Each structure stands twice: as structure tokens, then as C-alpha cells.
């Protein structure tokens, strides 16, 4: 019944981009690619900082304290930086894929590439949105635990 109802309606047309929109998207892709490359370099520096600074911190703490906490502190520092590097890598990768595919799509006028490009942009925003929610949740928990700690401290 529904098929008969909509049989005479034309298929939905895609969105056509005018020259100004194409220019805006082309410039967005250029800046996105630049920011993604800088982001990849930043991820590399975070990994190097995590490895070398964690090793040096562990060695310095071992020499100063003489107990086993030095290597544990350096290991924690290394893991902490590597986790942040991994979290930073994915949005940078999505931005790079968006930029690269958008430039190729605009050059070749390929709608499938434009779709893939926007899929990566959606993934970038989705990842950043979920990460923001998680961080806000941690802030909320931290505020709750600090309030409880302050209340317990005031009672003693």
C-alpha cells in the first residue's frame, strides 16, 4: 500500500554544492590536513616523552630513594603518556582521513568519496563527544570525592 502511495514521487535528489561551498570545503580540507600532520607529530613527541622521560624519572627516583618505587613511578609516567598519545591519535587520524578524502572528492567530483569524508568527520566529532562526556564524568566524580573528603576532614 505504501509503495503505491509513493510511486509517483521522484527519488530524492542529492545535495548540490555551489562554488563557494566547494571552496570552503577545499580550504577546510587543507587546514584539516595541516592540523592532522601537526597532531601526528605531537603524538610522536608524546610517545617519545613517555618513554624517555618515564625512564629518566624512574632512574632518578631509584637513585634518590633506593627502593622499588622509582621504577614504578617511571612506569606509571610512561603508561600515562602512552594512553594520552593513543587517545589523541584517533581524532587526528579521523581528521586526516576527512581532509584527504575531501580533497580527492572535490578534485574528482566523486560523491562516494565525499560521503566517506563526511563519515570520518562524523567519527571525529563522535569520538570527541564521547571523550568529553567521559572527562566530565571524571570531573564530577572528583568533585564528589573531594567534597566527601573535605567533609570527613572537617569532622576530625
Query: pLDDT of 31-79, one tens digit each?
Result: 999 999 999 999 999 999 888 877 777 677 667 665 555 566 667 778 8
The percent of residues in the chain predicted with pLDDT above 90, rounded, is: 59
What pLDDT is attached to residue 115? 93
Q: What is the pTM of this model?
A: 0.77
Long-range contact pairs involving 30-33 (C-beta distance under 8 Å, separation at least 24) = 30/99, 30/103, 32/95, 32/96, 32/98, 32/99, 32/102, 33/96, 33/99, 33/100, 33/103
Above 80 in pLDDT, residue 108?
A: yes
Axis crossing angle, helix 69-108 with helix 19-65, rounded to the nearest 10: 170
Residue 102 near residue 29 (C-beta atoms within 8 A): yes
Task: For 81-99, write each residue's pLDDT tens digit.
Answer: 899 999 999 999 999 999 9
Amino acid at each position: 500500500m505504501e509503495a503505491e502511495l509513493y510511486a509517483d514521487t521522484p527519488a530524492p535528489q542529492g545535495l548540490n554544492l555551489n562554488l563557494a561551498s566547494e571552496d570552503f570545503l577545499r580550504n577546510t580540507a587543507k587546514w584539516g590536513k595541516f592540523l592532522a600532520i601537526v597532531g601526528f607529530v605531537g603524538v610522536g613527541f608524546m610517545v617519545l616523552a613517555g618513554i624517555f622521560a618515564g625512564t629518566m624519572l624512574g632512574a632518578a627516583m631509584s637513585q634518590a630513594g633506593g627502593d622499588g618505587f622509582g621504577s614504578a613511578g617511571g612506569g606509571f609516567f610512561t603508561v600515562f603518556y602512552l594512553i594520552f598519545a593513543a587517545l589523541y591519535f584517533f581524532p587526528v587520524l579521523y581528521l586526516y582521513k576527512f581532509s584527504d578524502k575531501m580533497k580527492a572528492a572535490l578534485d574528482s567530483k566523486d560523491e562516494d568519496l565525499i560521503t566517506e569524508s563526511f563519515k570520518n568527520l562524523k567519527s571525529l566529532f563522535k569520538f570527541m563527544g564521547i571523550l568529553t562526556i567521559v572527562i566530565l564524568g571524571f570531573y564530577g566524580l572528583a568533585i564528589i570525592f573531594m567534597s566527601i573528603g573535605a567533609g570527613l576532614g572537617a569532622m576530625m
